[in-house]
Amino acid sequence: MRPARSRARAFLAVAVAALASGGCDPPPRAARDAAASPAWAVSDAALELSAHARAMASVETAPVRRRALAREIRAVGKVQYNEAGLATITSRVEGYVERLFVDFTGVEVKAGDHLVALYSPDLVVAQQELLIALSDPRAASTIASTRLKLLRWGLTEAQVQELVERRRAHERLTLFSPIRGTVTEKLVVQNSMVKPGDVLYRLANLESVWVYLDVYESELAAVRYGQLAEISAEAYPGREFSGRVWFINPVLSEESRTVKVLINIGNEERKLKPGMYVSAVLRSPLLASGEAAPTAAAGHYSCPMHPRVLQSEAGHCPICGMRLTRIPGEAGQPISEDEKLVLAVPATAVLDSGVRKLVYVERSPGEFIPVEIATGPRAGGYFPVLSGLEPGDRVALRGGFLLDSQSQISGLPSLFFHEGQPPGPAHPGH
Amino acid sequence: MLDAVIRWCLKNTFLVVLATAVLIGAGYYALVRTPVDAIPDIGEKQVIVFADWMGRSPQDVDDQVTYPLTTSLTGTPGVKTIRSMSGFGFSMVFVIFRDEVDYYWARSRVLERMNVAQERLPEGVVPVLGPDATALGQVYWYTVEAEGFDLAELRSIQDWFVRYQLNAVEGVSEVASVGGYVKQYQIDVHPDRLRAHRVSLFDVFEAVRKSNIDVGAKVLEKNGIEFFIRGVGFVESVEDLEKIVIRQEQGTPIQVQHVATVALGPDFRRGALDKSGVEAVGGVVLMRYGENPLRVLERVKAKIRQLEPGLPKKTLADGRVSAVRIVPFYDRTDIVLETLDTLKQALLEEALMASAVIAIFLLHLRSTLVVVATLPLSLCLAFVLMYAFGVDSNIMSLAGLAIAIGDVGDMGIIMTENIYRRIAAARGEGSRFEQVFEGATEVGKAIVTAVSNTLVSFIPVFFLSDQEGKLFRPLAFTKTFAIASSVVLALTLVPLVCYHLFRPLKWSGRLTWSAAAAAGLAAMLATRAALGWTVDLGPYSGWPISLLAGVILALAFVRMTRERFLPLEENRVSRAVVALYAPALRWVLRHKKTFTAAPVLVLSAGLCVWLGVGIGEHRLLRGIGREFMPPLDEGSFLYMPSLLPQAGLGPAIEVNAKQDMAIASLPEVESVVGKLGRADTALDPAPIGMLETIVILKPESAWRELPVERWFSGWPRGLAAPLGWLWPERRRITKGEILAELQQKTAIPGVLSTWLQPIQTRLVMLQTGFRAMMGVKIYGSDLGQIERIGLRIEQLLSHVPGATDIVADRIVGKPYLEFEIDRDRIARYGVNIRDVQDVIEIAVGGLNLAETVEGRERYPIRVRYLREFREDVPELEKILLPTSSGAQVPLTQVVSIRSVLGAQEIKGERGLLVGYVTLNTRGRDEVSVVEDAERVLQAALQSGDLVLPPGYYWEWSGQFENQVRATQRMQILVPVCLLLMFVMLYLGFERWWIAPVIYFNILVCAAGGFLLLALWGANLSVAVWVGFLVLFGVIDDDGVVMATYLEGSFDRARFASVAEIHAAVLEAGLKRIRPALMTISTTLFGLMPIFWSQGRGSDVMQPMAIPSLGGMLVNVLIGIFVVPCAFCAVEEWKWKRAQRGPSAGSAA
């Protein structure tokens, strides 16, 4: 039955039967006033939401609690030689390079590997001196001094021993590598002449490398000795290297406003090459006070290749047997587990105007009040709460923006309007 | 002269018939060709100047672009007002011209001024003229959809294919894209790598800029063959960008890929589209100013049909082929056609009702045929005139025809009846030609007089100005056309047809029957053919109806041949009327004083209802509300929720999707598409938090039915069922209820909402600049103050009954991060402000520095910092600034970043800043709400509740302004026109007091109109005033007819007693009651269809018909006694006086 007809019929009925006002359909206009039940209201400076309004605004709440937080610091840096593993091969005598064993840069050498053979007239003379002295039973002191001279000039104990036993002077002197490492520089060429003090090779031990990270002033507070760092290099996507903070440069670079932080990283596979750019993430656990927790690693011993190894005594790495190195700094007091838990509010709950930070707390079901909070710097998905919230307070994780808008509209205090406006009667639901 | 015309027509049958045929043809042509629209285009002439300044804050835009632009444009000739708006990254100046200014002339004046303004604008800012359309021109919204295509692909199809194709359609000013993602080549620079490679941001910038160019190098001729030479170097892919070299270091190139990530991604966007909760890509077709939407849309749709097969296709994983489609979600055609359908149906029904009334009164088929024939012919002529005078066919002009239909019939009735009477009186003797001629000339003059009265009553409408003028003048025109046409036809065609039709027939039975059968058969075939041609019959054959038509026509034919010309008094209906009227009039004449109470009572009741009763605030009756125009039911809603200015795209999209899903869950909703932020057009300045959701409702027949509790509902079924037919126990859900439900479902805290309709909104926006029915504009010079006042007003207004959706602009509510550069510090590093600003601009904001050229498509190339290096303040501080030494320092060394609150958009008008408080009304009329609101504000100002610093003021604006202005004009024009009518009446009668009596009757009937208005719950709008004017004309006519006859019969008579006077009045009354009743009935019943039509547009028509209906009812019950009663009383009094003093009698 169409309303058009029904209206017409009703009209006729009224006209014909002269019924003043029987059952005439109410004009549609009247229905427009059908008031919607309020979707929200204001009571006692709090915003009350109906279940529907709450669902529409996707308001989701969760209690704030203490949790372990770690602040992440991202930094970039450059791979450098481990300064402790650098070596230079220097000639101590004058001579001529007869034979180059290590004849290009980049050769890996082990400790004791021959590097170069020199013809040195001085050395031959000295050897002869020793041999002469040997044949002279009275010259024990000469033997000792000549022997010492030969050793100082670069002959090894074995070479001297051989000389003594064989009684024959070596025409050439072979120089051996004192350390394990990589030839990073070769300064001699075949048949060149060397003088005492000339550098022949430079070696570097790449078994562990150092990464210098540039850390901004503002983040420095969170960097501690012994902190673990995860390093990724562009060359090896997806691969992470780990190391420990070994050193924090005492001087800040004026130009870039950064401080160099040194990370010691094992590099057995020689993947990290000095000069490479890497980026690093430092994870710094936070204390309840919002400060970075001491790592408790300072003063302890660790393996550069396996930074997870942390011992209070010097010794060898249980994994690779490498000698452990001491992390600089004084050993601090260990911190309790309790202290490591920080009152944290999810970052999605915090409305930040740049000046103030606000969260909406559900005082009782469906009733929200804005609470101004003070937080530390963001740590992952959370902010450490310094003040304003108590553990167990339910905060709105989502929909905070809409709650704040409604507060503002209703004249309640809100993010941008501290005191709110004098509350007028709300016109709920419109 | 009239006589000569009538005579000529009677004599030249062929020419008149030919003219009629031509008229029918011309009428059909005019009907088809007249431009059609829903409502007259009452939009203002608006020219928009738009200037883009990407990424700049409103404050910068206002200071550097909007202000210089506005000041340059001030003083342009023909300008009514200039409004401006500075948004995020763009400036818009709306120059509104006076109505009489030619639109394109206005545009070129603006262009002239812009050339001057250009010099004062910052480099790179080029103001352009907005499309030659207004927001009202948003006639067609569509989405581009396909399964398996992502939003960027769809947007590319829309941007590069669909858009330009549709834009090329004649009458389309612009096609704007909205939603989805614009594809963009994104070079995301990694600051650490910049540092590592010792490359600065500008190096990257420069390198990219130099790497995207094609050149031509003239030609090469080889053995007479000419080759064109072309250097090819446009960027075509991500790889091309990656390989751009920035610098080389000892043979090692440093390329873009070494310092940045290059990817295809979405461009920064300030708008999105959501269809039922899912993101979509779409567009809007903007119609050129002054075009006809129906025609433009026809062409657009034809173009879409043409495009559709060529749209991209894709084979999905499961083997199905998915093709891109263009799906409309708002189509102005629908409402135009539906509105016109309603009106046409109402017109048809009116004509049928009027014919039925005539048939019943005359009980003579041949006369009925004559009168009925004049109805469509008058309309035909009216349409021809409309076409000739350029009056569009729309709800207003057709309503003019609809309310005129009673009058149109009257002319034919008067003429036919008089001729009939003549012929009947002659009883078949004498020359029929002379009888017809005399019959026609006798009333010819009366008809012309009556019509001139009616036309005079309509003069005020012609004198309306501005919007109300644009709105109602078409109505006045068409009504005048229709009535004039009917007069012309009554004087020319009617006598002729009467002459030929009113001949006594002496056909034999067989001849009659065979002729009837032939006519019936012809009618049947014609009906069937017409049905088959025009209507889609579906499974019905259409034959039964055709057969019925044939039979009816055949019977009517037979009846016509048998009809005799009986004197009217012997007519059964006449006798019934007389039987009812005579005793009533007799009673009235005997109890004149008692009777007087009735009209006085009605009059005072009408006055009370109109103006209200009560003392001060305690009112018994509120009085009739006032509004500009009853809103046209557009069958759709425009839901405009707005988020606070600090809202980002994320929450806006989420709110939009949620609300759309909630809206779509209502069974009455056909489709819902929400737009947030801007479409890419100068006509859409919406900020990101401004949502516009178009909700299209299903046709009313698909709405839910709700049970209604009736007084008989508890009764047994058998008893209740028949009553249920009169008072149905189920009713359809009303639009108001749907709205209430939608409001409840979409309520989201923190979202301010406004519910209006699309066309309505665009109209108001054009007139006032805001998106609500009305509002307060607060002018001043400081945004903070304006906002404070606005928020206070918002609170104050919430007390005003009937005011809803009160929203004050949150002007200063957008958080800004300000990078304040320390000049001392930058000096230390040897950099300039500009260098720092460039870094901020490029690194943080990103800069589109070139465009790829890929066939027809163009995509921007953008350089910006990687997202994670610019997402939060601490990261922003670390942005690298290249210094003169080549080292790069973090930005924090030279700038301090502050968070402050600023403006989201800055609006200006008349050189001052302006803020709005907008509101709508519900359940109350606009004007009263505004008056109440103004009172509240003034009271607050007095009491100090509202503080208005010097230099600040507020002003109301909205459609009610039109109502106020129209009322002011009407207040002058209506009395003038009434006076004119009075003078005409006075001159028309010898007795001076007849004019006041008729006037009194008019007022009584007007009171009836007010009473019905109150009962119906309608507000007093300009439309209603127009309805009253119609009523005045009709009542005036009736009174004149009655009084003329009375005067005529009294002039000849001398009376011996009061009883004789009574008898004379009675006799005259009885003579005239039939035509009077007939005209009243045609008007009354002719208007009925308007009331029971529920289609689109009926809401606009009804208020116009209410006064006529109410007035006519009162006229039937009381009015028809007033003139005889007064006449009788005066004559009696004069007679008595003459009896008492015979000497004085002669003086009367």
Question: In A, which residues are within 8 Å of B773 by CB distance?
Answer: none
pLDDT at A290: 65
Q: CA nearest A255 in B: which residue?
A: B889
Contacts of B701 in chain A (CB under 8 A): 2
Are both A74 and A64 inside the same structural domain? no
Q: Do A377 and B874 touch (CB under 8 A)?
A: yes
Instruction: Mark yes or no for CB contact A405/B192 under 8 Å.
Output: no
What are the angstrom distances between the C-alpha of B204 and each of A11, B193, B838, B947, B1096?
79, 12, 13, 55, 61
A300 contact partners, CB below 8 Å, separation of at least 6: A226, A310, A311, A312, A326, A327, A331
| Three-class secondary structure of residue B558 per DSSP | helix
Q: Does B946 touch chain A (CB under 8 A)?
A: no
pLDDT at A421 over 70: no
Distance CA B902, CA A416 (A): 11
Residue A114, pLDDT above cutoff 50: yes
Q: Computed from CA positions of residues B1065, B1067, B1068, B1072, in that sequence, does the dihedral angle turn out positive or negative?
A: positive
Tell me whether residue A303 is in a domain.
no
Same domain, residue pair A126 and A178: yes
Q: pLDDT band at B105, cuts 50/70/90?
A: very high
CATH number at residue A40: 2.40.420.20
Identify the CA nearest to A193 among candidates A251, A115, A286, A118. A118
Q: Which residues, 6+ apart, have CB-to-CB distance to B1028 below 8 Å?
A: B1006, B1009, B1107, B1111
Check CB contact under 8 Å for B890 and A216.
yes
For position A169, which CATH number holds?
2.40.50.100
Answer yes or no: is A393 within a domain. yes
Nearest CA-CA partner of B522 in B544, B497, B554: B554
> Does residue A168 sit in the same domain as residue A199?
yes
Average pLDDT over residues B626-637: 77
Query: Cβ contact (<8 Å) for A56 and B746?
Result: yes
Query: In terms of DSSP bridges, do strands B278-287 and B138-145 run parallel, antiparallel, or are they unpaired?
Result: antiparallel
Q: Is residue A27 part of a domain?
A: no
**Contact between chains at B750 and A405 (C-beta distance less than 8 A):** yes
Task: Please judge whether B740 and A36 are an interchain contact, meaning their C-beta atoms are less than 8 angstroms apart.
Answer: yes
How far is Cα B1068 from Cα B1065, in angstroms, rounded to an integer? 5
Q: What is the pLDDT of residues B814-865, one digit of tens each?
A: 788 888 899 888 888 888 888 888 888 888 888 888 888 888 888 889 888 8
Spell out which residues of chain A touch residue B653, defining contact as CB-CB under 8 Å: none
Query: Which of these three, A160, A179, A204, is where a domain ends?
Result: A204
Give the chain A residue nearest B657 (alpha carbons). A56
* DSSP-assigned letter for residue B843: I
Q: What pLDDT, in 10s, does the model give residues B12-65?
A: 888 988 999 999 999 989 888 888 877 777 777 888 899 988 778 888 898 899
Is A405 in contact with B922 (Cβ distance < 8 A)?
A: no
Summarize pLDDT for A122-138 with one digit per residue, the tens. Answer: 888 888 888 888 887 77
Section A261-269 average pLDDT: 86
DSSP sequence for B791-830: HHHHHHHTTSTTEEEEEE---EEEEEEEEEE-HHHHHHHT
The crossing angle, in degrees rounded to 10, of helices B395-426 and B432-457 is 150
* Cβ <8 Å between B644 and A409: yes
Compute the distance between CA of residue B48 and CA of residue B43 in angstroms, rounded to an integer: 14
Task: Nearest by CB to A57, from B193, B730, B750: name it.
Answer: B750
> Does A53 touch chain B if contact means CB atoms closer than 8 Å?
yes
Co-location of A233 and A96 in the same domain: no
Rounded Cα gap, residues A297 and A424, in angstroms:
60
Those of residues 988-1027 in B touching chain A at CB distance below 8 A are 1016-1017
Domain encompassing residue A63: 32-68+338-409
Q: Determine the residue type at B816.
A: Y
Shared domain check, A91 and A75: no
- Whether B922 has its CB under 8 Å from any CB of chain A: the answer is yes
Is pLDDT of B931 > 70?
A: yes
Amino acid at B62: D
Query: Which one, of B682, B903, B645, lies nearest residue B52 by Cα?
Result: B682
Same domain, yes or no, for A343 and A401?
yes
The count of residues in chain A is 430
Q: ipTM of this model?
A: 0.73
Q: What would the two tokens of residue B748 be?
A: 């989201």
**Residue A39: predicted pLDDT:** 67
> Looking at chain B, which residue has its C-alpha nearest residue A417?
B813
Tell me how many residue pairs between chain A and chain B have CB atoms under 8 A apart. 184
Residue of B774, B773, B771, B769 lying closest to B934 (CA atoms):
B774
**Which band of pLDDT confidence, cut at 50, 70 and 90, is reported for residue B778?**
very high
Chain B residues touching residue A9 (CB < 8 angstroms): 725-726
Q: Do B654 and A411 touch (CB under 8 A)?
A: no
Torsion sign (Cα): B394, B400, B403, B406: negative
CA gap B268, B864 in Å, rounded: 12
Between CA A251 and CA A258 the distance in angstroms is 9
| Sign, Cα dihedral of B1075, B1079, B1082, B1085 | negative
At residue B1145, does pLDDT exceed 50? no
Per-residue pLDDT, B536: 59
CB burial of A350-373 (b: ≥16 within 10 Å; e: otherwise) equals: bbbbeeebbbbbbbeebebbbbeb
Contact between chains at A23 and B740 (C-beta distance less than 8 A): no
Across B270-274, B549-553, B630-634, B1100-1104, which has the greatest mean pLDDT? Answer: B270-274
Residue A330: which pLDDT band, with cuts at 50, 70 and 90?
low
Over the stretch B790-820, which tens digit does the pLDDT of each residue have?
888 988 888 888 888 888 887 777 788 888 8
B740/A279 touch (CB, cutoff 8 Å), yes or no: no
| Full DSSP string of B192-240 | HHHHHTT--HHHHHHHHHTT---EEEEEEEETTEEEEEEE-----SHHH
Tens digits of residue pLDDT in A286-318: 777 667 777 767 677 877 767 767 777 787 887
pLDDT digits (tens, 9 = 90+) for B153-172: 899 999 989 999 999 999 99
Burial group, residue B431, by CB count within 10 angstroms (0-12, 13-18, 19+): exposed
Q: pLDDT by residue (tens digit) across B993-1006?
A: 888 888 888 888 88
Residue B1022 has pLDDT above 90, yes or no: no
Task: Return the DSSP state at A347.
Answer: G
**B681, B174 in Cβ contact below 8 A?**
yes
Q: B residues 875-894 near A, CB within 8 Å?
A: 877-878, 887-890, 892-893
- For residue A403, what are the contacts with CB-CB under 8 A and spacing of at least 6? A47, A49, A57, A59, A360, A368, A370, A396, B749, B750
Please tell me which of the candidates B643, B744, B901 has its beta carbon nearest to residue A405: B643
pLDDT of residue A17: 40
Alpha carbons A430 and A303: distance in angstroms, whole number: 69
When CB atoms are compared, the residue of B193, B735, B750 closest to A28 is B735
* The token pair that represents A175 in the structure block: 């120089």
From CA B479, how far away is CA B1027, in angstroms rounded?
11
Q: CB-based contact (8 Å) between B532 and chain A? A: no
Supply B1113's token pair: 């009812």
Residues of A in contact with B658 (CB under 8 A): 56, 58
Q: What is the pTM of this model?
A: 0.78
**Is A1 close to B654, i.e. CB distance below 8 A?**
no
CA gap B654, B659 in Å, rounded: 9
Question: In the structure, how many helices (H) and strands (E) does chain B have?
Answer: 38, 38
Residue of B nearest to A40 (CA): B749
Distance of CA B340 to the CA centre of its chain: 13
What pLDDT does B11 receive?
A: 85
Look at residue A405 and tell me if it is in a domain.
yes
CB proximity B659 to A under 8 Å? yes
Q: How confident is the model at residue A106 (pLDDT cuts 50, 70, 90)?
A: confident
DSSP state string for B84-144:
EEE-SSEEEEEEEE-TTS-HHHHHHHHHHHHHHHHTTSPTT--EEEPPS--GGGEEEEEEE
pLDDT exceeds 80 at position A264: yes
Q: What was the pLDDT predicted at B142?
A: 93
Contacts of A40 in chain B (CB under 8 A): 747, 749
Residue B731 has its nearest CB partner, among A3, A218, A402, at: A3
Window 279-298 of A: residues touching B by CB (8 A cutoff) are: 279
In a domain, A263, yes or no: yes
The three-state (H, E, C) secondary structure of B711-756, written as one string: CCCCCCHHHHHHHHHHCCCEEECCHHHHHHHHHHHHCCCCEECCEE
Query: In the prediction, which pLDDT does B1147 show?
Result: 41
Q: Looking at chain A from residue 148 to 207, which residues have their Cβ under 8 Å from any Cβ of chain B?
A: none
Give the containing element (helix H, strand E) for B643: strand B642-643
- Tell me whether A237 touches chain B (CB under 8 Å): no
Can you read off the two tokens belonging to residue B515? Answer: 């002729």
pLDDT at residue B695 greater than cutoff 70:
yes
Q: How far is A24 from chain B (nearest CA, A)?
A: 7
Cβ contact (<8 Å) for B644 and A6?
no
* C-alpha triplet B523, B529, B532: angle, nearest 5°: 140
Residue A259 has pLDDT above 80, yes or no: yes
Q: Which sign, positive or negative, has the C-alpha torsion B230, B234, B239, B241?
A: positive
Q: In the listed set A154, A179, A204, which residue is the last one of a domain according to the structure? A: A204
Q: Which of B194, B734, B1013 to mutate to test the interface with A (most CBs of A within 10 A)?
A: B734
Structural domain contains residue A416: no
Phi/psi of residue B212, each to 5°? -135, 75
Tell me the shortest Cα–Cα distance from B797 to chain A, in angstroms: 10
Q: Are residues A76 and A225 in the same domain?
A: yes
Q: Which two tokens stand for residue B1034?
A: 């009709």
Q: Does any domain span residue A62?
A: yes
Q: Does residue A154 share a domain with residue A170?
A: yes
Tell me the angle at which helices B1058-1092 and B395-426 cross, rounded to the nearest 10 degrees.
140
User: What is the number of domains present in chain A?
Assistant: 3
A255 in the same domain as A192: no
Specify the pLDDT at position A33: 37
- Same domain, yes or no, for A154 and A89? yes
Q: How far is CA B32 from the centre of its chain?
A: 21
Q: What is the CATH number of the domain that holds A269?
A: 2.40.30.170
- For A12-53, how does the pLDDT look when each residue is reduced to its tens digit (9 = 90+)? 444 444 333 333 333 333 333 333 445 677 766 788 888 888
> What's the confidence (pLDDT) of residue B304?
92
Does the distance separating the beta carbons of A415 and B743 come in below 8 Å?
Answer: no
B445 alpha carbon, distance to own chain's centre: 40
Compute the average pLDDT of residues A338-362. Answer: 84
Contact B813 A256 (CB under 8 A): no
- A267 shares a domain with A368: no
Q: Check CB contact under 8 Å for A424 and B747.
A: no
d(CA B807, CA B916): 8
Are A402 and B1017 within 8 A, CB to CB? no
At B328 the three-state DSSP class reads strand
Mean pLDDT score of chain B: 83
Q: Which residues of A touch B750 (CB under 8 A)?
A: 57, 401-409
Question: Same domain, yes or no, for A174 and A249?
Answer: no
User: Which residues, numbered 67 to 126 in chain B, qualify as contacts with chain A under a Cβ-Cβ cut-off of 8 Å?
Assistant: none
Please identify, among A151, A177, A204, the residue that sits at the C-terminal boundary of a domain: A204
Residue of B nearest to A14 (CA): B726
Provide the pLDDT confidence category of residue B284 given band limits of 50, 70 and 90.
Answer: very high
| Nearest C-alpha neighbor of B1083 from the set B506, B286, B413, B481 | B413
Give the chain B residue nearest A15 (alpha carbons). B1113
A237, part of any domain: yes
pLDDT at B1122 over 80: yes
B739/A32 Cβ within 8 A = yes
CA neighbor of B383 nearest in space, from B137, B841, B30? B30
Residue A426 has pLDDT above 70, yes or no: no
Which residues contact residue B466 at a Cβ distance below 8 angstroms, ignoring those fewer than 6 apart? B99, B962, B965
Q: What is the pLDDT of residue B326?
A: 92
Burial B193-212 (b: 16+ CB within 10 A, else e): bbbbbebbbebbbebbeebb
